[in-house]
Chains A and B, each alone.
Chain A
């Protein structure tokens, strides 16, 4: 066998340590050696304290024990995202991690629900979402995965401290053989003929060379953007937010959902963790100035601030190629989409999990690179459209950002989805990409886009039995939610940070 591939990861935030952990855990040392360079002087952005359920696949693949990870990162469970004031002021809905209606019925359920409405039923579609109802009542239990009962009608993600997650992964990665170097990059050395990156020269004078470079340097995109000059594609005309203030506050109610509240120039997040609540205001300087945004965030806190607000600058968009020559950008170095749907860590994960099976040899095979870029493009574009949807469907006219959003032209791929749903309640499916039809449904309906009609296939059962079926299902959901444990209690038992890791099987049955 040939010499192992030398992989150099630049940057040690969430992206860097997730990449390092995955590579060292999944690929044997005979095939690759992983080095990571980070500087303690450079702060990490620590994107996304809220995650998407796919994170569990990543953790499982690299062999992370859930309860241990949750203790270490002060994590809590997440069953969805609550959107407040998005459709109009006073509106609220949950985008749940799970289907509406019974398992296996999602192709027809919302048509039946629309028909029931036309017959006079007043129930919201969320009344039929197990995840949404459990979230609303702050309940949690682990779902079943291999059944078609209600207990498999939902899935979950985490709220965690992304800084602690990176620390947890660093410990794991180093124990598994990743070599970490402290320092800042002074210069990047390229092959004069191919333009490939050969080595990084650190300020200490040390040279670190490699075959493959993974750029996790964050917004600076030191390798892919600065060195290789891969262009940035700007999406800010659709997603105008360009700043965020983040501030932790004291812990309050441990609700198992992220809350996103639409504000006068953007939106505000609330992420409950075991030891604190994460808060932030994502806004656009086109519509508010920084000081005012910071003040607005501080005024909105429900518990005492634990620090001064910290500001981040960004722009929505992505590098036109996330893999160029022998360099792959993962995380913010490759693109940025605001954390409205908690997709930052997902985008890191998907890049890593696509890279691993396509990992090149010492000379990059362009066929592998092209396939990686194709898959990443699909992910970015589909998430982009889904985020824009939240803005486009607003019916608020009390602030400039909302008037702008409602009037803006959106990508054709999104326009046609909105129009088809409006007319026929049809939701297009796709193979690669994050959001299933049930996610689209929750945002369409939640933001007040009620279709003009529904499929005639929903007309085949008599109206009375339709309504009694729906009522019975709703009652089942409420009964089952009632049987679940309180989320904070579940956390204490399962992964409470103050508790020992003692087995808890007996306690779990309480």
Chain B
């Protein structure tokens, strides 16, 4: 057999670096592979929050993290979805709820029944048939009773610093070595990193380097062929402002995303405060002007510091070059509009585990990794882009430009097929599934022009009965769900205090 990978070094900071280390610890350290972390200075601000999709639960399960700790230590608030306001003129807000599956119905998908119903005068909005959306509106959290199969889940708003610290602590207890440092130089031969030189003079060698350094791209940024392709032609926001506001009582079961003249603002409830994030276009407004507008946009007073920074959205042409693998935001970067930031990190990590190189000298796995990450990135970009493409804020240059920009072919096909028939073409490596795209399309006012002809085989009375039954089911299920505050109070703080090691 050829020479195996013996040493892996993760370079980075905050949750992405510790997520990578935790996963490596769990998956390959049992095979005798040494895992080390070079911890770069944090990129987080005290006000930063992570807003994560329900898929994060799967990652926590894999690394053996007790989720109670999130609620006791990371100020976590569970959310059943995101509410989008002011994206479409006078249209009311809608909630993209975290449903796990499309509503069931007659083997055809409930959406098809709804489209026909709508054409026949049904007035109930689409989101009322989404279990998670209704739960979110009711301030309740979809938690499955033991053994029950609930078609909805919750995502998380987390204090970013506390979550990173939790992951760090658990990973360190599991036996990962780490060293805080900055990088003085990277020794590269061809497309291989030979060693990383730290500011204190130490030279760190490894067979495989994982770059989790975020937009710094401390390693991959120096590798051949890994330059960044910008998405600004579609996604115009290039500034990000983070701030903090008081906590909400009672806690809502959703995050709030509102469009304004030059971008959007997100309010992410945490247990003790509300994280505020605004993304905007520097050609349209300045940091100072925005800061002045912030309380009005947030509709609440802003406390403490607000920090503005650059945002550049795009993808590296190659995310894995030689023995250097970029994960998360280091591979591709998107504004935090749909809670994909940590999802990208753990999707990359899980691909890296599946494609973990079998040999230290040669890395044919890289090509497949690049293809998968590229598909993932395009699918996520298209999802977020949909908010812009379908906006109906007329007579505002920023929004008119977004609406007029031609969509990428991958998104245009989804829009076309959905408009024509209410179906969503899904590609390989989709994060968001049929129900998510449907919620977004219909929420932003895209109404299918026709429906699956099989729907007409359902007699009218039965059709009405099915629609009614769906509404009743949802009401019953939501009533049994706990309100957000009860859910958080239900987490036992004593049990949670004892952080267990992973691995």
Given the contacts A371-B417, A452-B2, A457-B31, A424 and B427 also touching, CB distance less than 8 Å: no
Contact B28–A420 (Cβ < 8 Å): no
Complex interface: chain A residues within 8 A of B487 (CB): none
Does B307 touch A at the CB level, under 8 Å?
Answer: no
State whether B358 touches A423 (Cβ < 8 A).
Answer: yes
In-complex Cβ contact of B456 among A27, A368, A416 (8 A): A27
Say whether A426 contacts B355, CB under 8 Å.
yes
Binds A, one of B53-61, B248-256, B267-275, B418-426: B418-426
> A431 and B2: CB pair below 8 A?
no
Residues of B within 8 A of A356 (CB): 452-454
B404 lies within 8 A of chain A by Cβ: no
Bound CA span A35–B5, Å: 64
Chain B 176-208, CB-CB to A under 8 Å as 1, else 0, gives: 000000000000000000000000000000000
A368/B421 in contact, CB under 8 A: yes
- Within 8 Å CB of B356, what residues of A? 455-457
Which chain B residues border A465 with CB–CB below 8 Å? none
Q: Which of the segments A38-46, A81-89, A357-365 contacts the partner chain?
A: A357-365
**Contact A426–B4 (Cβ < 8 Å):** no
A403 to B356, CA, bound (A): 35
Q: Is A416 a contact partner of B453 (Cβ separation < 8 A)?
A: no
**Is the CB of A367 closer than 8 A to any CB of chain B?**
yes
Kindly specify which of B73-81, B295-303, B310-318, B363-371 makes contact with the partner chain: B363-371
Chain A residue numbers with a CB within 8 Å of B31 are 456-460
State whether B423 touches A453 (Cβ < 8 A).
Answer: no
In chain B, positions 341-366 with a C-beta closer than 8 Å to chain A are 353-359, 362, 364-365
- A359 to B423 CA separation, bound complex (whole angstroms): 12
- Given contacts A28-B456, A361-B450, A367-B417, are A454 and B358 in contact (CB under 8 A)? yes
Q: Specify the main secondary structure of chain B where it touches its partner.
A: loop
User: In the complex, which residues of chain A have a beta carbon less than 8 angstroms from the beta carbon of B367?
Assistant: 416, 420
Least distance between B455 CB and chain A CB atoms (Å): 9
Q: Are B358 and A459 in contact (CB under 8 A)?
A: no
Residue among A26, A107, A365, A459 making CB contact with B354, cutoff 8 Å: A107
A356 to B1, CA, bound (A): 52
Which residues on A sit within 8 Å (CB–CB) of B145?
none
A431 to B426: give the CA distance in the assembly, Å: 8
Interface residue ranges of A1-57 to B (CB < 8 Å): 26-28, 30-32
Residues of B within 8 A of A423 (CB): 358-359, 362, 364
The residues of A that contact B430 with a CB separation of less than 8 Å are 431
Q: State whether B353 touches A457 (Cβ < 8 A).
A: yes
- CA distance in complex: A26, B5 (Å): 55
**8 Å CB contacts to A: which residues of B397-435?**
413, 416-417, 419-421, 423, 425-428, 430
User: Are B416 and A370 in touch, CB under 8 angstroms?
Assistant: yes
Find out whether the CB atom of B27 lies under 8 angstroms from the CB atom of A357: no
Check B30 for interface membership: any CB of A closer than 8 A: yes
Q: Is the CB of B454 within 8 A of A368?
A: no
* A479 CA / B356 CA spacing, docked (Å): 35
Q: Flag if B364 contacts A368 (CB, 8 Å).
A: no
- Residues 348 to 396 of chain A near chain B (Cβ within 8 Å): 356-359, 361, 365, 367-368, 370-371, 374
In the complex, what's the smallest C-beta–C-beta distance from A338 to chain B, in angstroms?
Answer: 27
**A26 with B457: CB separation less than 8 A:** yes
B89 within 8 A of A: no
Measured CB to CB, the closest approach of chain B to A109, in angstroms, equals 13
From B454, which residue of chain A is reached at the shortest CB distance? A26
Complex Cα distance A367/B427, Å? 17
Q: Which residue of B lies closest to A369 (CB)?
A: B420
Looking across the interface, which residue of chain A has its beta carbon closest to that of B365?
A424
Q: Determine which of A118, A359, A361, A461 lies in contact with B1 in the assembled complex, contact meaning CB atoms within 8 Å.
A: A118
Q: How far is the CA of A367 from the CA of B4 in the complex (A)?
A: 50
Complex alpha-carbon distance, A356 and B423, angstroms? 12
Q: Report the minimum CB–CB distance from A353 to chain B (whole Å).
A: 11
Residues of chain B lying within 8 A (CB to CB) of residue A492: none
Complex contacts, B1 vs chain A, CB 8 Å: 118, 453
Q: Which residues of B contact A371 (CB under 8 A)?
A: 413, 416-417, 423, 425
Q: Which residues of B contact A460 (CB under 8 A)?
A: 27-28, 30-31
Distance in angstroms between the alpha carbons of A161 and B356 in the assembled complex: 47
In the bound complex, how far is the Cα of B417 from the Cα of A118, in angstroms? 50
A431 touches B427 (CB 8 A): yes
User: B residues within 8 A CB of A357?
Assistant: 421, 423, 452-454
Q: Which of B355, B356, B420 has the most CB of A within 10 A?
A: B420
Distance A428 CA – B419 CA, assembled complex (angstroms): 32
| Whole-angstrom distance between the Cβ of B165 and the nearest chain A Cβ | 28
Q: Which residues of A contact B5 (CB under 8 A)?
A: 456
Residues of A close to B28: CB separation below 8 A = 456-457, 459-460
- Interface contact A419-B420, CB-CB below 8 Å: no
In the docked arrangement, what's the CA distance between A459 and B30, Å?
Answer: 7
Partner of A455, one of B30, B358, B452, B454: B358
Of residues A357, A454, A456, A458, which shows the largest number of chain B Cβ atoms within 10 Å of its Cβ? A456
Chain B positions within 8 Å of A166 at CB level: none
Q: Smallest Cβ distance from A68 to chain B, in angstroms?
A: 22
Docked Cα-Cα span, A107 to B350, in Å, equals 12
- In the complex the two chains form, what is the Cα distance from A93 to B454 in whole Å? 42
Which parts of A406-456 form the interface with B (CB within 8 Å)?
416, 419-420, 423-426, 428-431, 452-456
Q: Given the interface contacts A26-B457, A357-B454, does A431 sit within 8 Å of B428 by beta carbon?
A: yes
Q: Is the CB of B453 within 8 A of A367?
A: no
Q: Tell me which residues across on chain B come within 8 A of A361, comparing CB atoms.
A: 450
A374 to B413, CA, bound (A): 10
CA A13 to CA B356, docked complex, whole Å:
49
Q: Which residues of A contact B454 (CB under 8 A)?
A: 26-27, 356-357
Cα-based distance from A86 to B1 in the complex (angstroms): 28
Tell me if B447 is interfacial: C-beta within 8 Å of chain A: no
CA distance A368 to B353 in the complex (A): 38
Q: Taking A31-B456, A426-B368, A455-B356 as contacts, is the C-beta distance between A374 and B30 under 8 angstroms? A: no
Report if A374-B425 is in contact (Cβ < 8 Å); known contacts: A424-B365, A456-B4, A459-B31.
yes
Q: How far is the CA of A424 from the CA of B2 in the complex (A)?
A: 11
Contact B456 A30 (CB under 8 A): yes
Question: Which A residues are CB-close (under 8 A) to B456?
Answer: 27-28, 30-31
Q: What are 11 pairs between A and B in contact, CB < 8 Å? A: A118-B1, A357-B423, A361-B450, A374-B425, A424-B355, A424-B365, A430-B428, A455-B358, A456-B31, A456-B33, A456-B358
New A-B pairs, 14, CB < 8 Å, besides A30-B456, A374-B425 = A356-B454, A365-B420, A365-B421, A371-B425, A416-B367, A423-B359, A424-B357, A426-B365, A426-B368, A453-B2, A453-B358, A454-B358, A459-B30, A460-B28
- A positions within 8 Å CB-CB of B: 26-28, 30-32, 107, 118, 356-359, 361, 365, 367-368, 370-371, 374, 416, 419-420, 423-426, 428-431, 452-461
